[in-house]
């Protein structure tokens, strides 16, 4: 029996997996399960050995290069089948890389996580300075490239992203006349929303030149010049005082050695009664390392923190952790919508880049999806304040404000979804 057959025999119990080897031999694994679609794959010469050496990176590169082809199902079905048999909470290890690969991954992670200012801009550009058309094809119209908030799993992506902004805005408890800083503002959607809904003056900062260009265009189109402005600047170089700070989907790029620097800077930028809301992907378990595929192809220098690592970042800085929420399946729903839209736009994405890029991008989205569906990934929303009295002592204000914001957003969301 080939080593890859031994691997699959151990890893696949639920769902049917059929593989065709390069020599024409075939094997089947698992058993029919209505919750898991059957998958058939074919290996080119050398593909099986690459996957045995490092299941995650090996499978990704073989799929990207066409050495692993899927004849029944697609890459999402394959990853759902594999991870559905190896869920994080079941503590199985069939999909873990070999010891040598783990050691190399750890070394690369430790080198990459020292995300100093000179490296940060290059790391961000690697991912976020891709063609704006690519992001148009799979994101919602507001370009929210972060976890949406599904009050109902059946909601459209557009509605869920609007609800995410309302959810965060309610937690920030913004009052008229406040100054707000958006660290890692993306294409400007959150900053524009906060000004539109609260009248606050908002400054958004990014390290992506492409995101900066789009955000400024959007602010100008809406006539918000002077009230919402965007700057190309590292958070470490930011000055001034802000009543509120929000950061959504940026903390994953900070790097663990910089967590103390990040929170110290946040405290410095907040007024004495200031409040900060941090929204980040997180590990449900202990600290770990960034997988080799993500580090190499998607987010160089990126790292998903454990809650304990985030806490160590602000401990001792005399900021109150005033609220913590754990979002579990919300990002899975978000990523499934992104994946479906990417697959539907295959021809245009291949024309923008090539077939290998399309395969890489679908592997990235599918892999991220199963990370939240079956893996140990969640989203954390942490609220921090310099003051023990800046916020009400119950969460009622969040619920009331969020309901009002959602009521004001439902009709535009319906119109946007119908237009799309």
Separation CA 103–CA 350 (nearest Å):
35
Cα separation values, 408 from 152, 202, 293, 414, Å: 18, 20, 41, 12
Domain 3-97: state its class: alpha beta
Closest listed residue to residue 102, CA positions, set 60, 54, 61, 58: 54
Which regions of the chain are under pLDDT 50? Answer: 1, 100-101, 103, 107-108, 411-420
pTM for the model stands at: 0.90
CATH number of this structure's domain 115-419: 3.40.50.150
Separation CA 73–CA 336 (nearest Å):
15
- Mean of all residue pLDDT scores within the chain: 91
| Per-residue pLDDT, 226 | 84
Output DSSP code: residue 259.
H
Domain layout of the chain by residue ranges: 3-97, 115-419
Output DSSP code: residue 38.
-
pLDDT one-digit tens code per residue, 159-179? 999 999 999 999 999 998 999
Separation CA 209–CA 128 (nearest Å):
9
Rounded CA Rg of the chain: 22
């Amino acid at each position: 029996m080939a080593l890859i057959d031994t691997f699959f025999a151990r890893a696949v119990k639920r769902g049917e997996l059929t593989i065709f080897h390069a020599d024409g031999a075939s094997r089947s694994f698992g058993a029919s399960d209505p919750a898991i679609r059957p998958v058939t794959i074919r290996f080119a010469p050398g593909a099986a050995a690459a996957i045995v050496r490092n299941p995650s990176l090996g499978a990704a590169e073989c799929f990207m290069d066409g050495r692993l082809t899927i004849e029944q199902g697609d890459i999402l079905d394959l990853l759902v089948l594999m991870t559905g048999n190896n869920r994080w909470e079941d503590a199985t290890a069939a999909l873990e890389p070999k010891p040598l690969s783990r050691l190399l991954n750890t070394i690369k992670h430790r080198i990459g996580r020292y995300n100093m200012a000179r490296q940060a801009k290059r790391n961000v550009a690697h991912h976020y300075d891709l063609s704006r058309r690519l992001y148009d094809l799979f994101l919602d119209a507001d370009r929210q490239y972060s976890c949406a908030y599904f009050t109902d799993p059946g909601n459209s992506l557009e509605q869920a992203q609007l609800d995410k902004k309302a959810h965060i805005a309610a937690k920030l408890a913004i009052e008229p006349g406040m100054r707000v800083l958006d660290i890692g503002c993306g294409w400007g959607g959150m900053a524009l929303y906060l000004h539109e809904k609260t009248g606050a003056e908002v400054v958004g900062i990014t390290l992506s030149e492409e995101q900066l260009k789009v955000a400024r265009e959007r602010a100008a189109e809406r006539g918000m010049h002077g009230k919402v402005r965007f700057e190309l600047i590292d958070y470490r170089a930011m000055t001034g005082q802000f009543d509120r700070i929000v950061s959504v989907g940026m903390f994953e790029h900070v790097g663990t050695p910089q967590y103390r620097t990040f929170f110290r800077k946040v405290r410095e930028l907040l007024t004495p009664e200031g409040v900060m809301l941090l929204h980040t992907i997180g590990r449900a378990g202990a600290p770990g390392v960034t997988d080799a595929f993500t580090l190499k192809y998607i987010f160089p220098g990126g790292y998903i923190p454990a809650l304990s690592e985030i806490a160590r970042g602000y401990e001792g800085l005399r900021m109150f952790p005033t609220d913590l929420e754990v979002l579990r399946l919300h990002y899975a729903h978000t990523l499934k919508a992104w994946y479906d839209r990417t697959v539907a736009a295959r021809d245009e994405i291949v024309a923008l880049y090539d077939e290998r890029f399309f395969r890489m991008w679908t592997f990235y989205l599918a892999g991220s999806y199963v990370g939240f569906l079956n893996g140990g990934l969640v989203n954390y929303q942490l609220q921090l304040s310099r003051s023990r009295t800046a916020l009400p002592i119950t969460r009622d204000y969040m619920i009331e404000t969020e309901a009002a914001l959602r009521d004001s957003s439902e009709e535009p969301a319906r119109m946007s979804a119908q237009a799309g």
